[in-house]
Amino acid sequence: MTRENEVPVIEARGISKYFGAVTALENVSLKLYRGEVLGVVGDNGAGKSTLMKILAGLYPPNAGEIFVEGKPVHFRSPKDARDMGIEMVYQDLALAGNMRIDENIFLGRERTRRFGPFKFIDNAASLKQAKEHLDKLKIEVKSVRQRVEELSGGQRQAVAIARATAFDAKVVIMDEPTAALAVKEVRKVLDLIKDLKNHGIGVILISHRLDDIFYVCDRVMALFHGRNFAEAPLSEVTRNDVIGWIMGNKSPVAQAAKIFDLN
pLDDT in tens, 154-197: 999 999 999 999 888 999 999 999 987 888 889 999 999 999 99
DSSP code string of 31-56: EE-TT-EEEEE--TTSSHHHHHHHHT
Cα–Cα distance for residue pair 115/156, rounded to 1 Å: 34
Residue 137 lies inside a defined structural domain of this protein? no
Residue 127 lies inside a defined structural domain of this protein? no
Per-residue pLDDT at 261 exceeds 70: no
Provide the domain count of the chain: 1
Residue 110 lies inside a defined structural domain of this protein? no
* pLDDT (average), residues 199-203: 95
Residue 27 lies inside a defined structural domain of this protein? yes
Residue 139 lies inside a defined structural domain of this protein? no
Percent of the chain surpassing pLDDT 70 = 89
pLDDT band at 263 (very low <50, low <70, confident <90, very high): very low
Residue 158 lies inside a defined structural domain of this protein? no
Determine how β-strand 37-41 pairs with β-strand 71-73: unpaired
Q: Residue 78 maps to which CATH number?
A: 3.40.50.300
Cα–Cα distance for residue pair 169/202, rounded to 1 Å: 9
Residue 113 lies inside a defined structural domain of this protein? no
Residue 220 lies inside a defined structural domain of this protein? yes
Q: What is the mean pLDDT of the chain?
A: 89
236-260 residue pLDDT tens:
999 999 999 999 997 644 443 443 3
Residue 172 one-letter amino acid = V
* Residue 174: closest CA among 88, 58, 94: 88
Q: Which domain holds residue 237?
A: 10-94+168-259
